[in-house]
Structure 1
Amino acid sequence: MLPLVVAGGAIGVAARYGATAGNDDPLLGLPMIMLVNVLGSGLLGLVVGWAGDRPRTRAFLGTGVLGGFTSYSALAPAMALLAGDLDLGVFATSPLSATAFALLLLIGAVMALVALPVAVAAVGYALGARIAGRP
């Protein structure tokens, strides 16, 4: 099954690169990463719910294509770039309060960037199971 995962991963990574290439602006890059992760998570849930006991299909489409397509590894650098570009002076009266505000902002953003794809994956799974005729 490893060749299926590798072939699918190559397709998924190429698709992600095509969706996010040429975008060095962190304010634009982060929404694209979010879109890719939400779309990929929803499709992954759909594939897992639909494919059920088809390990080759799940290996190729799920682990390979959609595993390569989603880009959680790109999330941390994008968040770091965005945090470096923020001007927190208007929110803070001291360096400590600016740091606390930035930390809370980043924690909230990361929670949203993880929670939404998980919720969409659950919806995709339910839809895939229904398509496959399973409860």
Structure 2
Amino acid sequence: MTARRVAEPDGSRSVLPAVALGGSAGAACGAALSSATTAWVATAAAAAGPSGLSVAGPTGALVHTLSSAAPLLAVNVSGSFLLGLLWARSRRAGPQWRPRLVAGLGTGFLGSFTTIASAVALVIGPLQWGMDAVSAVPSGIGGALGAAALLGPVLVVLVLLAALSTAAAVLGLRLGGAPAPDRGAGAA
């Protein structure tokens, strides 16, 4: 009786180089897109005139937050689109290539291309600044209104980020050839 070789999990060793290479390329591309978006926002602000994109009041806070979040939106929405496209297209790859494609391009490249850490920083920065400002305001309705005015624009950006990223991923899936969900299956 001969001993049988137990196979390793499908491609466990062969995906590590793909993730490493994809990760380094994704970080560089994400930083380049973020820098380009920041430059574009600065150019738009300069073209808007001497006041730039400055607006007073609650609208000004929202405009400032949106202009600050533009690189985050650009990177994460485009990354969501590409991930949807990759997932749909990788289904057509042979079984020996799909793990490397998804690991290298999905986990590696797009995982480091998109920036969830920046989304966290978008929330933490204003929260810290806002809580310091709100702590100086008397408690009660004034403090609650102050907190809402500071956090409102951040929440708008986070909702916008989630909605646009989801829409971009669905668009990528559709353009990549993923089948449409069966809408009648759950209906009575």
Shared fold per TM-score greater than 0.5 = yes
Q: Partner of 2:10 in structure 1?
A: none
Aligned partner of 2:111 among 67, 86, 97: 67
Percent of residue pairs bearing the same amino acid type: 30
- Across the aligned residues of Structure 1 and Structure 2, the Cα RMSD in angstroms comes to 3.0
Match of 2:81 in 1: 42
1:76 aligns with 2:134: no
Match for residue 161 of structure 2?
A: 113
1:14 match: 28
Deviations 1:71-95 (A, max 9, x none): 111112134445648x99xxxx822
Native 8 Å contact 1:45 1:128 kept in 2 = yes
Choose 70-79 or 41-50, whichever is displaced more. Answer: 70-79
- Structure 1 unaligned segments of length 5 or more: list them: none
Matched, 1:125 2:173: yes
| TM-score after normalising by structure 2 | 0.57
- Which letter does structure 2 place at the counterpart of 1:8? G
Higher normalized contact order (CA 8 Å, seq sep 6+, divided by chain length): 1
Check if 1:57 corresponds to 2:57. no
Contact between 1:20 and 1:29, CA under 8 Å: does it hold in 2?
no
Q: Name the structure with the higher helix share.
A: 1
TM-score, normalization by structure 1: 0.76
C-alpha separation in 2, matches of 1:32 and 1:105: 16
Larger Rg: 2
